Amino acid sequence: MSLNVPLQLTQLESGATVATEMTLGVHCLGAIPAGFNSTAPVQHVSLPILGDAADALNEVWHVSHACSGGQFEDIAYRRTEDVLFGSLAIDEARLAVEDGSSRLHAATESAYRQIFALLAAEGFSYLWRTWNYLPAIHEEECGLERYRQFNIGRHQAFSAFARPVDSSPAACALGTATGPLSIAFIAGRQASTRIENPRQVSAFAYPSQYGPRSPTFTRAATAPNGDGEILFISGTASIVGHETLHHGNVVAQTRETVANLAALLERANRGRASSPYQWNDLIYRVYIRHAQDYAVVRQTLEGLLGSAIQAVYMQAEVCRHDLLVEIEALAFKPSKATPS
Ligand code: 3EB
């Protein structure tokens, strides 16, 4: 199968119209830009943007020819021969559940069952990356924190479709103040190559103190893209082993997070001696729990990675109470790694 139509990502200029037939999907985090109009799937999450409001995140996945697509239950999707982007939002209030059972659990399980059913129907077996946003992530529901209910629902859908947890996608999961459960994803016809972090216990193997079902994500993955590849780095935080480090110290947490990102880059760069991923190749999303930490997080990050990095900073609830910052990233390379 030809893989000669690489996926690209561009930041939407304010006021620009999307080349709709060549657009695979869009992420709008923060306000939707004025005049924006898309027939392609859009993941819209209203997170507060930190710094200049004009720095809202409006990313467009596109290719150089027309895509096909449609609607599958709650999912809007577009696809090429090689990749499929989808987005869905589920209003929990709309769901009928039995007394005493969690609406978020039900919504998450339904969302992931829909995703896996669509991928089976379209022949895209490999889930590369998911972006999960859920309201009130720390609130209790049916005696358990909602992030943990989310994890149970996600895990059950993986089991129902016989997807082993160690084949999980790269991912992020963040809390929003309001809005529906919102999930976007990219899947491929070909497998991604998963990367774990030697400094961290794999998330899918976390001990049960973090909830009855573990989060199903891998720390990073590379995916084939034309003659090159895409690197997806999952939400990364100040966790070593499985424990949060540097309670209450956002500067130290930012530094530890960068050490984790460096460990992932080191792995991703095996077999890439001539064209390694470098800090400036990455496009970052930086989630900060307390908006007032923005200046110090940015200063710390730019001090370590340089002030030329391309990053959008947002206020969001990171999924453990004691985590103050979480950073995810992606990058494109025109060539693949050569297996050593
Ligand atoms: C962590 O390392 C931080 O549940 O999909 C990061 C990325 C985190 C993805 C997810 C959670 C998820 O455990 C939290």
Q: Separation of 269 CA from ligand 1 center, angstroms?
A: 22
**Whether the Cβ atoms of residue 332 and residue 275 lie closer than 8 Å to each other:** no
Residue 69 makes CB contacts below 8 A (sequence gap 6+) with 40, 41, 76, 77, 78, 79
DSSP 271-314: T-TTS---GGG-EEEEEESSGGGHHHHHHHHHHHH-TT-EEEEE
- pLDDT > 90? residue 110: yes
Per-residue pLDDT, 129: 98
Measured CA to CA, the distance from residue 110 to residue 281 in angstroms comes to 36
> Above pLDDT 90, what percent of the chain?
83
Rg (CA), the chain: 19
Minimum CA distance residue for ligand 1 atom 14: 319
Atom of ligand 1 nearest to the CA of 239: 2
Mutate to test the pocket of ligand 1, among 150, 152, 206, 217 (most ligand atoms within 8 A of CB): 217
Per-residue pLDDT, 94: 87
pLDDT band of 32, cuts 50, 70, 90: confident
pLDDT band of 215, cuts 50, 70, 90: very high
pTM for this structure?
0.96
Q: Separation of 170 CA from ligand 1 center, angstroms?
A: 9
Mutate to test the pocket of ligand 1, among 264, 289, 319 (most ligand atoms within 8 A of CB): 319
Comparing C-alpha atoms, which of 134, 264, 112 is closest to residue 199? 264
Atom of ligand 1 nearest to the CA of 215: 4
Mean pLDDT to the nearest integer, 322-330: 98
**Residue 324 CA: distances (Å) to CA of 30, 105, 183, 272:** 20, 25, 22, 33
pLDDT band of 64, cuts 50, 70, 90: confident
Tokens of 111: 């969302």
Q: Separation of 203 CA from ligand 1 center, angstroms?
A: 7
Minimum CA distance residue for ligand 1 atom 13: 203
Q: Separation of 319 CA from ligand 1 center, angstroms?
A: 7
pLDDT digits (tens, 9 = 90+) for 281-304: 999 999 999 999 999 999 999 999
What is the set of domains in the chain, with CATH numbers?
8-334 (3.30.1330.40)
Beta bridge pairs of residue 318: 174
Per-residue pLDDT, 302: 98
Comparing C-alpha atoms, which of 110, 43, 9, 4 is closest to residue 329? 9
Beta bridge pairs of residue 59: 11, 27
Ligand 1 pocket by Cβ (under 6 Å): 132, 171-173, 203, 215, 217, 234-235, 237, 239, 319
Measured CA to CA, the distance from residue 218 to residue 168 in angstroms comes to 6
Mean pLDDT to the nearest integer, 308-315: 95
- pLDDT > 80? residue 5: no
Atom of ligand 1 nearest to the CA of 323: 3
pLDDT band of 212, cuts 50, 70, 90: very high
Atom of ligand 1 nearest to the CA of 150: 4
Element containing residue 106 per DSSP (H, E)? helix 103-122
pLDDT band of 340, cuts 50, 70, 90: low
Measured CA to CA, the distance from residue 181 to residue 178 in angstroms comes to 9
Per-residue pLDDT, 16: 61
pLDDT digits (tens, 9 = 90+) for 163-191: 999 999 999 999 999 999 999 999 999 99
Q: Separation of 186 CA from ligand 1 center, angstroms?
A: 17
Per-residue pLDDT, 17: 61
What amino acid positions are annotated as catalytic residues? 326
Mean pLDDT to the nearest integer, 135-150: 97
pLDDT digits (tens, 9 = 90+) for 227-284: 999 999 999 999 999 999 999 999 999 999 999 999 999 999 999 999 999 999 999 9
Question: Three-state DSSP class for 150?
Answer: helix
**Residue 239 CA: distances (Å) to CA of 27, 246, 258:** 27, 9, 11
| Cα-Cα end-to-end distance for the chain | 24
Exposed/middle/buried for 259, CB within 10 Å: 0-12, 13-18, 19+?
middle
Mean pLDDT to the nearest integer, 40-55: 89
Atom of ligand 1 nearest to the CA of 203: 13
pLDDT digits (tens, 9 = 90+) for 79-100: 999 999 999 999 998 888 888 8
pLDDT band of 4, cuts 50, 70, 90: low
Mean pLDDT to the nearest integer, 192-206: 97
Mutate to test the pocket of ligand 1, among 210, 234, 261, 328 (most ligand atoms within 8 A of CB): 234
